Amino acid sequence: MATIKERITEKALELLDAVPEGLRRSELIRRIMELDGDFKRNTVDGTLWNLDERFPDRVYKPSRGLYRLTKYRDADTDQLKDESGPKQLKRYKEEDFYQPFADWLMNEVEECTKAIPLGGNRFRDKWGTPDVIGKRESKRSDIIQAPVEIVSAEIKPDVSQLVTAFGQACAYCLFSHKTYLVISNKAPDDEVARLDALCQVFGLGFVLFDSENPKDPGFTIRSRPRYQQPDLFYANWYMKLIETELFT
């Protein structure tokens, strides 16, 4: 007869088999306890903490706290196999999320006093154009008047373009005081964890959103952007191209 530890392990492997992108330890514990209420949380936790070490041929951790079966691991990249990735129920255009994020910057986090959708090739160079750009200005009633701040954002509903999106967001730091990377919450947990860490290193704001609901994307901040001084030559160069839309 199987021991309690063996039963917990068996259920953990079954749950991981059903979720190719993997499960975080807390979620795995929660689901196991839902399947069998006789298990004690401490017993489940004690069984799972080294699951990848006990079964290295079946389980690995692509990032801190995330368990995934090795059969879903890409042998070359150590990440999730493309065919195992989350499937989007319906694809919306990237542009569908530009105005909602511009509104969010102005009304929810009040990061901008004015923000506009941009995208396309408005800046006419290979360094790219922000999907949303905004400014923050002091109100006339403010006793202390602060300099104008430029805020840029790169938005990517497509989870296969995350590295490209990160690179583009970094490029916007050239002319922006604050920059956001905004990606779908359908992205694999390990990739979200990597981008979260990178955004903190480079001072980018990191936001997740529901890429299947442009009417209510539910933008959620993972990390706030760090104020950085842009190169004023490039800031003035690019702002001149959108002076009418953003500064009048």
How would you write the pLDDT of the chain (248 residues) with one tens digit per residue? 679 898 899 999 999 999 898 898 899 999 999 988 888 999 999 999 899 999 999 999 988 889 999 999 887 777 787 665 555 445 788 999 999 999 999 999 999 999 999 988 889 887 889 999 999 999 888 899 899 999 999 999 998 889 999 999 999 999 999 999 999 999 988 899 999 999 999 999 999 999 999 999 999 999 999 999 999 999 999 999 999 999 98
In 3D, which of 146, 172, 168 has the Cα closest to residue 239?
A: 172
Residue 244's contacts (CB-CB under 8 Å, 6 or more residues apart) are none
- Domain-by-domain residue ranges, the chain? 4-84, 94-247
CATH hierarchy code of domain 4-84: 1.10.10.10
What does the alpha-carbon distance between residue 115 and residue 101 come to, in Å, rounded to a whole number?
A: 9
What does the alpha-carbon distance between residue 50 and residue 164 come to, in Å, rounded to a whole number?
A: 34
Rg (CA), the chain: 22
pLDDT of the residue at 85: 57
pTM over 0.75: no
| Residue 120 zone, left/alpha/beta (φ > 0; ψ -120 to 50; rest) | left
